[in-house]
Chain A
Amino acid sequence: MAFLLSFAALVPLNNLGHYVQWHFLEISVANLMVIVLMIITFVVALLAPFPGRRRRKENR
């Protein structure tokens, strides 16, 4: 339980949120991080080799 609580303390959620503003666009840092993570995951999903793909191609 103490181990989990130390994780909870890493991200204090009782403070005001942080926002990024660019002209008329405003987005919370948390939402921006999710979007960046999605883009990274998308690129990795396209480029990372899938287990067994080469074997299947050879058997084709």
Chain B
Amino acid sequence: MSTSEIDRQWTTRLRRRVEGKLPPEKLLPDTQPTYVSSWIYVFGIATMCSLGVVIGTGCILALRGPQWWHGSDYGHFINSMHLWSVEIFFFCMVIHLWGKFAMAAWRGGRALTWMTGVVTFLVSIGAGFTGYVSQSNFDSQWISTQAKDGINSTGAGAYFNVLNMGQMLMWHIVLLPLGAIVLTGMHVLMVRIKGVVPPFEEEAETEVAQ
């Protein structure tokens, strides 16, 4: 095979593009700029850590089933861990969102980083709501019967039936977590490619220097 033929292969072109955009030292950097040493930058990784606990406890709940999580001490414990890790996940995610909004973190060509974060937030809310109606108890019955009128008024009820336990559970344990994990991965890769957004004064100094 000639060199020009190898250059034309999609695998070669993709590899070179990835290497150009995300060299190993950018993917796993040794250092970060000084302005990153602030507590406000901790909440992004705290959100990801709690997402890890959410997924881990969710996997255990999926393995053992509703009778177990409603009827045993260990099941109650894992069920509570799943709930509280979600609470911490949203707590940290909202503080991360406030911090990044105040920094106007979409500056410097970081619009895709911002948007992947926004969509992850929306997908996570969907995962939370479908979790409420997947508990398989009176609470989930109450919530789903309250939600159905709102969903039906939009016309989406024909495709997204909150009273359909099987459908809601599949959204909650397959589609929405998959979306949240893929989007979080994209979000982190975008942060690695574009770097952490600098403070306003730092950006102004860079512009003056240029």
Binding site for B on A (CB under 8 A): 34, 37-38, 41-42, 44-46, 48, 50, 52-53, 56-57, 60
Contact = CB atoms under 8 A, between A and B. Distances in A.
Interface residues of B, number: 13
A16 to B, nearest CB: 14
Interface in B38-71: 38-40, 42-43
A44 to B, nearest CB: 7
A42 B98 contact: yes
B149 to A, nearest CB: 18
Interface string B12-35: 000000000000000000000010
Given A45-B42, A45-B43, A38 B95 contact: yes
Contacts of B34: 53, 56-57, 60
A42 B98 CA distance: 8
Contacts of A57: 34
Nearest to A56: B34
Nearest to B34: A56
B27 to A, nearest CB: 22
Nearest to A50: B37
Interface of B is mostly: helix
Contacts of B40: 42, 45-46
B99 interface: yes
A22 B99 CA distance: 28
Contacts of A60: 34
B91 interface: yes
B94 interface: yes
A6 to B, nearest CB: 17
20 contacts: A37-B91, A38-B94, A38-B95, A41-B91, A42-B95, A42-B98, A44-B39, A45-B40, A45-B43, A46-B38, A46-B39, A46-B99, A50-B37, A50-B38, A50-B39, A52-B37, A53-B37, A53-B38, A56-B34, A60-B34
B91 A45 contact: no
Contact of B95 (A45, A52, A53): A45
Looking at A48, A56, A57, the one whose CB has the most chain B CB atoms below 10 A away is A56
B164 to A, nearest CB: 28
A45 B37 contact: no
B125 to A, nearest CB: 15
Interface in B93-145: 94-95, 98-99
A54 B194 CA distance: 26
